[in-house]
Structures are given as structure tokens and as C-alpha cells.
Amino acid sequence: MSEAMLKDAAHSEPGCRADVPALPGPAGRVAVITAALVLLSVIAVSAAETAGGGEAGFHNAVLRRLFAVAVGSIAFMAGWKIPYGFWRKNSLMLLAISFLTLVLVLVPSVGSSVGGARRWIRFGAGVGFQPSDPAKFALVIWIAAWCHRCKEKGEGAMQNFRDGLLLPGMVIAAVVALMLLEPDFGTASLTAVVGFGLILIAGASVLQTGLCLLASTPVIHLLIVNSPYRMRRITTFLDPLRDVRGGGYQLIQSLAAIASGGIYGLGPGEGGIAYLPAASNDFIFSVIARQFGFIGAAVVVAAFIWLLWEGLHITIKAPDMFGSMLAAGITALICTQAAVHIAVTTGSVPTTGITMPLVSAGGSSLFFTLWSIGVLCNIALSTGRKT
């Protein structure tokens, strides 16, 4: 590349640079953390999916997970290579497509019903995706783009009730409502918290937002009280020993699995837990604690804390409002979800069915999470400096 071309690239609009350099600084550290967690998932998920299935079953599970990782790596590269400004220009289209898929998954002839919930759109045996996975990221992109436009109107635009709360709040509520219809209370709650958190960070009125959230309390109360399985999860959380063979079974087995790992664990590939339902997704942290012990579990927690730290740095140093809000949203979605998952498996909060990003089973979740982290790295690289 000639010197003139390099100068033109250096003066290009933030977020629209096509000449993203090799991964340095915070982007490199984020990539390393991500790679470590994904490689860990290959061992943990494979062991959980083949509990008691023998060595051949374990090897087959490893190959399946490696294939999901390979496909997800393509998504990561797309997020890394495509200038993040592209997502701002297409934010409304992405939101519209995500909204459409959330509607389609509720159609019996389109969405697949598993365990009483309609969360998957499948195209064949083993091929499909959960619309809530891309939808939560599409919503974050749209909110970031909306906040960017509001800032261009003036510093106080987000304090305006219409721009700062009413319109973005209606969009958040619409997406969350469709998730609740699946039903997917855990993802809906995560999406709502991150969505409203972003508009507050962008400058929305704390008083107005607080009053609106307070007004929604009766709705949240009804969603819980009128749902027997949600009420059962809360009562089980308060006293899991009341129903050892029923509602408390999962939590009790999760705690037993964590305790069985001790300090150093049983060893890689030895964490299969045939007696723990949904071990490869909803309770993968328990599998990790069983395989790698307290030390391994602590390393996983430290990895997500490190990812949070790097995400905050990228947020602060982003070249523009859109990049900053998008980095904050991606970081919040991933790290909050991880925190909730760990809290559930350790009995610190009621069971929600929230998986651990990058680590739990599920190619759909891995694909979109890796793509979003690639976008986060692109934002970091667009700052043009190391930190």
C-alpha cells in the first residue's frame, strides 16, 4: 500500500475503516480470552454430552464442538473485518429482520417446540438457530445507533422524554414481549436490563426511566405469579430441600457436582454428570468445577472479569458515540449473562435457563457471540492506538 493510501486510511471516518490492522492491544487481549474460553468449552461440553458414553462418544462430541467453533470463527472474522460503522448504517434493517424472526418462531409451522417453549427455527436435522440470540445483539446495535443520532441533535437530546425514553423504550418492550411469548423469561430479562441500561448511560433521564420501570412492576409481578413454573423456581431457590426429587433436584445436583471437583478437579474430560439435567448448557459451570475444581472455576470467573475490564476500556476509548455504546452493550450482554449463569449454578439466584456465553453448548449462541466479540475487537482497533 502506498504512503498516500495509508494517509487516506488514517483520515477516514471512525468506524468505516476497511484497513483494520492485525490484532494489537485490547483487541488482542479480548481475542485471547475468547479463544481460551472457547477451547475450554470443547472439553467441558463434550464431557457433559457424553456422560457415561465411553471414549468413542467423547471423541465424536469433541468433533461436533470443534465444527461449531470453526463456523463461529468465521463469524468472529466477519465481525473483526467489517468496519463497525456498517452496523450503524444498517441498524434498522437488522432490527426489522430480528423482529420478523421473533414473530416467525411463534408460528407453529415454522418454530420448533421443545419442552413447551417455541425458541428454535430449524432448517433440517441439527441445523437452525434461536432468534433471540441475534435479536438481543440487533437491539443493542439499534439502541447504539439511536443514541448516536440523538447526540448529533445536541447534548441534551437524550433528556427529552420522546427521544430519550419513549421511542427506545417502546422498541425494547416490543422485542422483550416477543421473547416472553416463546417463553424465554431469562433472555427477555437480560435484554431489558441491558437495553434500558444503555439508554441511561447515553444520558436518558434517571427519574423518567425509574418511574417507567416502577410502573412496569405490576406487569413483572403478574408474569411471575401467573406462571406456575416460575413460582416453583422461586420457592425452590428459597428452599431446594423441600422438593429434592422435583423442583430442587437440578440445583442440588449442581451443587453436588461443584463440590465433587474439590480444589483441583477430576481432570479434563472427566466432568460428565449423568445425573444433572441440561449439564452441557444451563449448568456447564458445574461441569467445569467438577473437571477443573475450584481453581478452574475461579479462572473462568477471572476470564469474564478480565473481558469486562477490556470491554470497559474499549467503551471509553471508542472513536464515537455509536462505537462506545455498541462496545458497552456487547460487553454488558456477554458478561451479565455469564454472571447470571454462575449465580444460578451456585444457587445464588433462582434458576433461569441462562447459558454461559462461549462455553455452553449451542452453535447458535456461539456463532452470534463470537460475531459480536469480533465487532468489539473492530471497535478497539478503530481507536488507532494501544492501551
What is the chain's Cα-based Rg? 21
First to last CA, the chain: 26
pLDDT along the chain (387 residues), means of 10: 44 50 76 96 87 66 91 97 96 96 92 80 80 96 95 82 91 95 90 95 90 84 74 74 74 89 85 73 92 95 97 95 97 97 92 91 93 97 64
Cell readout for 151 is 447526540
Rounded CA separation 366/386 (Å): 28
Please check whether residue 179 is in contact with residue 195, taking contact to mean a CB–CB distance below 8 angstroms: no
Give domain limits for the chain. 21-381
- Phi first, then psi: what are they for 3, rounded to 5°? -65, -35
Q: What is the pLDDT of residue 4?
A: 47
Q: Which alpha helices (H) appear in 50-131, and where do they start and end?
A: 54-81, 85-89, 91-104
DSSP class of 343: H
Q: What is the pLDDT of residue 320?
A: 94
Q: What is the pLDDT of residue 387?
A: 41
Percent of the chain that is helix, strand, coil (3-state, to 5): 70, 5, 25
DSSP class of 184: -
Q: What is the pLDDT of residue 53?
A: 57
CA atoms within a 13 Å half-sphere pointing along the CA-CB vector of 88: 22
Cell readout for 83 is 468496519
